[in-house]
Amino acid sequence: MYFKITAAIATLIAFVLSLAVLMNYAKFERAFSGLTESRLAFLVQDLRETLEFGLDLGLDPAAMANTTSILAREAAKDPQILSILVFDDQGQVLHRHQREALSRPLSELTPGWFRTALRTHPDAAPWRISDPDTLIVGATLTNNFGRAVGGIALRYDRSFHDHELAQALTGLTQAAGLILLAATLIALISAWLLFRSARRDLRRVRSALAGFLEDADSPAFQAGSSGSKLEIGYAAAEQNSREFWRRLRQVERILRLEQQLADQESADV
Amino acid sequence: MSELRQARFAGLFIMTLILIVAVLIGISFYAARAFERSLLPQLDRKMLTVGTAVNAKLERALRYGIPLERLPGVTDFFGGVLAANPDLAYLAVTSANGVVLYQRGTLLPSVEQLVTSTQPPVGPPTAQRVGAAYDLALPLQGNQTVTGSLHVGADAGFVTRQIRELLFDIAIVFIIAALVALELLPLIVQQNLAAPMRRLESVLRRIADGDLRYTLPASHDEVGQLSSLINRLVIRLNTTYRQLIHQALLLRTAIPASVGRLDSGLASLRQGFILAPNGQPTPYLSVHLIGARMATFLFIFAAELSQPFMPLYIRTYAAALGDPPAQWLIGLPLTVFTLTAALCMPIAGWRFERVGSRHTFIEGAGLLMMGLAGTGLAFNFFDLLGWRALTAVGYAFLYTACQGYVVANSPEQHRAQGSALFVSGLMAGSICGPAIGGILADRIGYTATFSCAAALALGAGLAALNLLGASPVIRSNQRDQQPGHGLIRDLSANFRFAWLMLFAAIPAKLLLNGFLFFLVPLTLYELGNSRSEIGRIVMLYGLAALFLGPMFARLADRFAIHGLLIGVGGLLTGIGLIPMLFFPNTLTVLAGVLCLGIGQAMSISPQLALVTRICRPQITRFGSGPVLGFYRLIERLGGASGPLIVAGFAGLFGYPGTMTAIGVLGVVTAALFSIGFLIMGIDSEPSDQSAPPVTPEPF
């Protein structure tokens, strides 16, 4: 009984904990990704402002000679930045800075991909996309006439990001597991404390009944002064059973006597 | 339950609540610490990135020879940076002697604190805790000399704010866990302790009274062990008795002279005792309704899980037929659901009469599971309609099975208590479902949430194998029956009944389905609320109905104010919706939902009572079942029309305008109802006949 009650409480607490873990993890994921992406978005915005300054001066984006060094300088600010690309409105990459010695080559972004990014994000606000390997934060470059002439795409190593998230989830799950274990123990002890008197009554009654079944002449059960409903009920039931048992024995004796009488009569005959 | 057992159950419940609170505090505390460890370095990097970029711009100006204290437009520039980076609290520039030259934002520490923070740190610059902020000080260099410092600040409560934002969700989890505990713990205690103990005490009492006909179901626990011993006692007494009777019969045949003596001995033996027929005691069975309550809770939980986002989900399918989709397309699956459920109730009733509650429930759970899973995986709008209809058939089966079980197993004098048990399971499910559904949809998406709902339906079906023990066949006069032509004619001629239906019952269900299930999710989503928030707000309806419904029902019966409560409830519902056009915000929708909950809590039970009063001649002629069945049918049809009518309005007036429009409709119908009944009056006979045990409809 304790175990069933404890199991029910443990199930309930597991349900509560899984919801709490789910919500906390989602919140963490949102906050962590938000911070990372907003930092990268700030870098991209800073880059956009620098490049648009050149566009405002009438320079052709393809011809801005110091762009690659600007990209390299920005990329040096964070070792997790894998590459920064500047592309035109046709999706052709004009300038590129890519980190050397990558553990594996980055998937290529196609001109179609760049064109779609420009089409779906025509305003100046930074945009965010992710692929299996990288988080991509970008911004659209617009000229003096408000026309989109290209864009910037910064690719960020998501292994660090994913590792942090996985670590947070593992930590939360482990903590939830420990809390569940502790709560289950407390529930078990509490259930035992709450229901031990019921169990004691059951044991007392069971022992008395077992004694009565072994030996019908055993002393009658006495309900305690603060006897439970069960004890009082059993005492009355046992008393009546003894009475019936007594009557059965009496009839048994009558039958035996009758039988003896019958045997005697048949012997006399 | 005896007082002692009630006290033990209360103790168990309180202990569980304390554990839930402790567990939630524990996990939140851990999360706060873990968040801090992971998020603070990220915040630090963000401050450094922004600081470095801002610093570079300021230093460029300094290199042109502009003195630091005369840089133009710095504050505005800071404003732009802070607006684009809301996770930062302030930006400030201090001179080399510690005077604040430029500043923007909030939580700016005092000058002394800033000076302390400016002390040149060893190694790369890192943020330090200064007052209520994290402050990162970067030196500003003009022509090789440090002329001042740039301070980038972030709220030190950034991490705790993240946790605090979860507080609402955590509170909802607590409420739901408490409700689930309230369903689960009585069931466990009932099944494992209370019911076996009650059976045990019952059989002992019978033995004490001389009734030796019953044994107890044996199990492996402590109660089961004692039960086995009691069974041994009862069987031994019965067997010994049978053996003696058999011996006596033999003796009677062998020695006719002994007949008189034997008969008197046996007569005195039996006196005051009842023995089992043929010496075979039968198991003592008792039916308890708590299982039906749990079953009701589970299936309603499953069905309502998708409620807070159903119109949003439908909209994604309707968009394939026209972007933006016509409003009536969004309302159509909701109407199909309610209509199908209403029309399938008789079929479910027919099934229940043939196979009993357990089988009907299991069939319903299967249909519900398929319907929900299909809804989550629907290919297009048209098969979505089909899946919703299938879900509704399952719903009708489950509803009928649970209601029928309760009615069939409640003694006549406790029928109202049985119904209350059913309603409490129903309301608890309708509170938990939307709240959890919203959270799940937000975190794991629509399809996964529908999968959870389908799994819950499956769980309900499996649980029913154990929960709905007996499979009674309902007595035909206990269930809502289908109306015959004579009854429909008779009821149509009852002007009071028609008035009640037209101006109270139908508008109430129309508003409920149209507003709560259609308008609330769509409007709240448009106002920028997440699905969790929608779920929380929808949940308030159930909470109000659960806690206030019984109170208003008691008030109505005590003071015989059924008509008054229906009128006031209708008016309150309508008035609650009117402000939306003028104040289109989340708070107004929330107030509308609360008013709807309170209004419906006021009017639902009194409506039933009123029907039994104003239709007394029809009830005398046809019985309460058919009359209430007809009332229910009309009411459900009103409910089914709700989403379509409201969708029609929404196409014309937009969501806020529609809320106001249906609010006005609610006020007008409630006013007409009140005026009509003030003129006509309710039957002058005293209301000495309480309403039959009927239960409010959830849709």
> Residue B252 above 80 pLDDT?
no
**B678 compared with B393, residue with greater pLDDT:** B393
- A166/B contact by beta carbon, under 8 A: no
Total residue count of chain B as it appears in this document: 699
SS3 B211: strand
CA gap B479, A259 in Å, rounded: 62
Percentage of residues in chain B having pLDDT higher than 90:
23
Query: What is the number of other CB atoms lying within 10 angstroms of the CB of residue B107?
Result: 17
For A:83-142, CB contacts with B below 8 A are none
Test A255 with B262 for CB contact under 8 angstroms. Answer: yes
**Whole-number pLDDT of residue A57:** 75
Q: Which residue has the tokens 């890192």?
A: B126
Q: How many Å apart are CA B316 and CA B376, to the nearest integer?
A: 12
**Alpha-carbon gap, residue B646 to B649, rounded angstroms:** 5
Q: Give the C-alpha separation, A212 to A18, whole Å.
A: 51
With cut-offs at 50, 70 and 90, classify the pLDDT of residue B587.
very high
Task: Give the A:B interface size as CB pairs under 8 Å.
Answer: 243
Residue B689 pLDDT > 60? no
- The band of B469, judged by pLDDT with boundaries at 50, 70 and 90, is low
Cβ <8 Å between A46 and B197: no
Mean pLDDT of B643-664: 91
Q: A175, B208: Cβ pair inside 8 Å?
A: no
CA distance A48 to B232: 90
Single out the residue of B440, B430, B433 nearest to residue B305, CA to CA.
B433
Q: Taking CB atoms and an 8 Å limit, are B39 and A31 in contact across chains?
A: yes
Map residue B582 onto helix, strand or coil. coil
Site from A18, A33, A38, A193 to mutate, B interface, most B CB atoms within 10 angstroms: A38
- Per the model's pLDDT, the better-predicted residue between A126 and B395 turns out to be B395
**Measured distance between the N- and C-terminal CA atoms of chain A, rounded to whole angstroms:** 66
- Model confidence pLDDT, tens digit, residues B282-318: 887 766 777 888 888 889 999 999 988 999 999 999 9
Instruction: Note the pLDDT tens digit of each residue in B544-582.
Output: 887 888 788 888 878 888 888 899 999 999 999 999 889
State which H helix or E strand residue A16 sits in: helix A2-56
Q: Is the pLDDT of residue B690 over 50?
A: no
User: At A199, phi and psi to the nearest 5?
Assistant: -65, -40
Q: B688 pLDDT exceeds 70?
A: no
Higher-pLDDT residue of B506 and B619 is B506
Instruction: Please name the member of A27, A251, A258 whose beta carbon is closest to the beta carbon of B162.
Output: A27
| Residue A121: predicted pLDDT | 75
Helices and strands in chain B, H and E counts: 23, 9
| Residue B64 CB-density burial (10 A; 0-12 exposed, 13-18 middle, 19+ buried) | exposed
Most confident stretch, A230-234, B336-340, B342-346: B336-340
Task: Report residue A214's pLDDT band, with 50, 70 and 90 as the boundaries.
Answer: confident
- Is the CB of residue B351 less than 8 Å from the CB of residue B363? yes
pTM for the complete prediction? Answer: 0.73
Residue A96, H or E segment: strand A93-98
Does B165 sit within 8 Å of A27, measured CB to CB?
Answer: yes
Is the separation of the CB atoms in B669 and B573 below 8 Å?
A: no
ipTM score: 0.79
Give the side-chain half-sphere CA count within 13 A for B272. 10
Q: How far is B562 from chain A (nearest CA, A)?
A: 40
Cβ of residue A255 closer than 8 Å to a chain B Cβ: yes
Contact between B149 and B140 under an 8 Å Cβ cutoff? The reply is: yes
Query: Is a pLDDT exceeding 50 seen at residue B197?
Result: yes
Q: Which chain B residues have a beta carbon less than 8 Å from that of A1? A: 192-193, 221-223
Chain-centre distance for alpha carbon A148: 44
- In this structure, what are the phi and psi dihedrals at residue B330, rounded to the nearest 5 degrees? -70, -35
**Cβ partners under 8 Å of residue B555, min gap 6:** B561, B565
Q: What is the pLDDT of residue B4?
A: 62
User: Which chain A residues contact residue B220 at CB under 8 A?
Assistant: none
Confidence of residue A225 (pLDDT cuts 50, 70, 90): low
